[in-house]
């Protein structure tokens, strides 16, 4: 029964991803409501929680997920690290929660994809993957925030993305 | 991207194999949004980097399995 529950969670994730792709590609919803796409990241975080539980055991896996999520949430929400979030309403806290979920996903991915490598290569690869995924998802959240405020130009996306890419390039070089 | 991943990933009940599709899901959201928004060079760059990450991970795993 537990196996079936985990498989159904995976199938729900795939269905949610396909529906969000349909929303993006065919313009089913106005762009103000595209932040519903972020729900798929939360589902991916639950799937990666299942992966942690499978690989470490129930106690250690759940506590690891909780530690990563709570640290990300507290760090983002108390230090105001996101420059595009101006207000303090429910949606901004949803952004913080989504970023914490994204950290859980990234940790699970870096464990799963680098499981058979040597230690040095594993460290480098994990570093690269964390930089890549975080810096690709941040401008999307900035774009959703600007849609919510009523700015429908795409200039913010380009500016944020080019800034993050420049930062990533300098980090890699040095 | 989907064709390459269906060629590369084997469909099995292991959760390590399912995390590859989770990686593709997380990465393909900014690709699609970049294309729809009109900032297509970013999505091309994301496709190149993510496919290289997938290929490196799968090649390392295969070498380990063959030994």
Instruction: State the CB neighbour count (10 A cutoff) for residue B13.
Output: 9
Residues of B with CB under 8 A from a CB of A: 15-16, 18-23, 25-30, 32-34, 36-39, 42, 45-46, 49-50, 53, 56-57, 60-61, 64-65
Query: Nearest Cβ partner of A44 from B15, B26, B49?
Result: B26
Task: Give A94→chain B minimum CA distance, Å.
Answer: 18
How many angstroms separate the Cα of A134 from the Cα of each of A28, A86, A100, A111? 27, 20, 11, 16
Closest chain B residue to A111, measured at CA: B16
Supply the pTM of this predicted model: 0.83
Residue B46 contacts residue B23 (beta carbons within 8 Å): no
Strand, helix or coil at B14?
A: coil
Q: Quote the pLDDT of residue B6.
A: 56
- Which residue ranges make up each domain of chain A? 1-173
- Whether B30 sits inside 8 A of A140 (CB atoms) is yes
The pLDDT tens digits of the residues spanning A104-154 come to 999 999 988 888 788 888 888 888 888 888 888 888 888 888 888 888 888
- A100 band by pLDDT with thresholds 50, 70 and 90: very high
Q: What is the pLDDT along chain B (67 residues), one digit of tens a residue?
A: 556 555 555 545 567 778 888 888 889 888 988 888 888 888 888 888 888 888 888 777 655 455 4
ipTM of the complex: 0.82
Query: Nearest Cβ partner of B42 from A10, A121, A161?
Result: A161
């Amino acid at each position: 029964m537990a196996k079936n529950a985990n498989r159904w969670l995976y199938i729900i994730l795939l269905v949610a991803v396909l529906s969000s792709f349909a929303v993006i590609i065919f313009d089913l919803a106005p762009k103000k409501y595209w932040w519903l796409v972020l729900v798929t990241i939360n589902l991916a975080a639950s799937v990666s929680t299942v992966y942690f539980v499978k690989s470490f055991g129930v106690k250690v896996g759940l506590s690891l997920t909780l530690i990563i999520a709570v640290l990300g949430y507290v760090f983002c929400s108390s230090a105001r690290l996101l420059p595009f979030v101006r207000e303090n309403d429910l949606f901004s806290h949803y952004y913080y929660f989504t970023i914490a979920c994204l950290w859980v996903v990234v940790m699970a991915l870096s464990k799963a994809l680098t499981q058979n490598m040597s230690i040095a290569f594993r460290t480098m690869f994990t570093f690269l993957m964390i930089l890549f995924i975080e810096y690709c998802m941040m401008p999307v959240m900035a774009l959703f925030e600007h849609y919510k405020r009523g700015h429908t130009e795409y200039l913010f996306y380009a500016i944020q993305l080019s800034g993050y890419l420049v930062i990533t390039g300098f980090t890699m070089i040095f | 991207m989907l064709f390459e991943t269906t060629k590369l990933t084997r469909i099995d009940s292991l959760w390590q194999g399912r995390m590859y599709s989770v990686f593709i899901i997380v990465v393909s959201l900014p690709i699609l949004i970049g294309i729809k928004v009109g900032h297509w060079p970013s999505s091309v760059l994301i496709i190149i980097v993510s496919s290289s990450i997938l290929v490196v991970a799968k090649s390392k795993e295969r070498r380990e399995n063959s030994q």
